């Protein structure tokens, strides 16, 4: 991540030097800048690929560790048997474990990566934005580095809007995951009892319009 930000900062410096050279008709430096850009572009692509591999590898390792831990707790003492007695129709624990391990690891790493990248990028480019924005006059007040304040206000407004509008979909996604797990569980029950269903010769569909619950 730090290497990626360093390359972005190098591209920013390269962009400034190139346009200065073009403005001053510095043809020799312009040709040299093209070679520098090829090096920066190759470095950016290489770092992005390595970053993706490391992030996905971390997600896999964390998910494997968490899945083993949850499965060990489910099989211990023996909870899977006690759950079958306490709840004859459990909410597909094996599917819920797999889905919970995925939801608890992959989005967390992506979110952590995004936050860390945003903080480091803001820290690096704060000075660049401050020097490039100059000052502006608003209602008689001279504001130095006004683009920095504008970026902060924009970030606060967008983050607040995302929190307000994203609160409702969280519960809906949870209900969707629960329904998908239940559907897989019920279809598995039909497959396990395929012989009994075939011998009886009927499935009561009153409990399952469309893709709902099948009962003999």
Query: For every residue of the chain, which 3-state class applies, written as one string?
Result: CHHHHHHHHHHHHHHHHHHHHHHCCCHHHHHHHHHHHHHHHHHHHHHHHHHHHHHHHHHHHHHHHHHHHHHHHHHCCCHHHHHHHHCCCCCCHHHHHHHHHHHHHHHHHHHHHHHHHHHHHHHHHHHHHHHHHCEEEECCEEEECHHHHHHHHHHHHHHHHHHHHHHHHHHHHHHHHHHHHHHHHHHHHHHHCHHHHHHHCCCEHHHCCCCCCCEC
| Distance (Å) of CA 142 to CA 96, 100, 135, 138, 148 | 58, 53, 7, 6, 14
**What residues have CB less than 8 Å from 95, skipping those under 6 apart?**
181, 184, 185
How many other CB atoms sit within 10 Å of the CB of residue 6?
14
Bridge-partner residues for 215, per DSSP? 204
Low-confidence ranges of the chain (pLDDT < 50): 206-216
Residue 35: per-residue pLDDT: 82
Residue 88: per-residue pLDDT: 56
Tokens (6 digits) for 69:
């831990």
Q: What are the φ and ψ backbone dihedral angles of 138, each rounded to 5 degrees?
A: -130, 115
Residue 209: per-residue pLDDT: 47
C-alpha to C-alpha distance for 160 and 163, rounded to whole angstroms: 5
Tokens (6 digits) for 173:
């996604």
Residue 58: per-residue pLDDT: 92
User: Would you say 7 and 48 are in contact if contact means Cβ atoms under 8 Å apart?
Assistant: no
Residue 57: per-residue pLDDT: 92
Picking from 53, 38, 43, the residue whose alpha carbon sits closest to that of residue 3 is 43
Bridge-partner residues for 144, per DSSP? 135
Place of tokens 């909870």: 79
Q: What is the model's pTM?
A: 0.55
């Amino acid at each position: 991540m730090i290497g990626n930000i360093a390359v972005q900062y190098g591209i920013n410096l390269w962009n400034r030097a190139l346009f200065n050279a073009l403005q001053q008709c510095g043809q020799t430096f312009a040709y040299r800048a093209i070679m520098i850009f090829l090096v920066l572009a190759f470095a950016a692509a290489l770092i992005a690929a390595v970053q993706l591999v490391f992030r996905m590898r971390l997600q896999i390792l964390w998910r494997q560790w968490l899945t083993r831990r949850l499965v060990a707790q489910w099989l211990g003492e023996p909870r899977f048997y006690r759950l079958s007695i306490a709840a004859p129709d459990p909410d597909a624990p094996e599917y819920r474990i797999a889905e919970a391990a995925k939801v608890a690891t992959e989005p967390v790493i992506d979110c952590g990566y995004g936050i860390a990248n945003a903080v480091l990028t803001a820290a690096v480019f704060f000075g660049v934005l401050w020097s490039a924005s100059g000052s502006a006059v608003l209602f008689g007040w001279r504001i130095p580095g006004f683009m920095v304040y504008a970026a902060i206000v924009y970030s606060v407004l967008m983050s607040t809007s995302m929190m307000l509008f994203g609160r409702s979909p969280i519960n809906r996604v949870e209900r969707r995951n629960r329904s998908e797990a239940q559907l897989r569980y019920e279809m598995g029950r039909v497959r396990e009892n395929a012989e009994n269903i075939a011998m009886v010769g009927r499935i009561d569909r009153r409990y399952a319009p469309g893709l709902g619950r099948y009962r003999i």
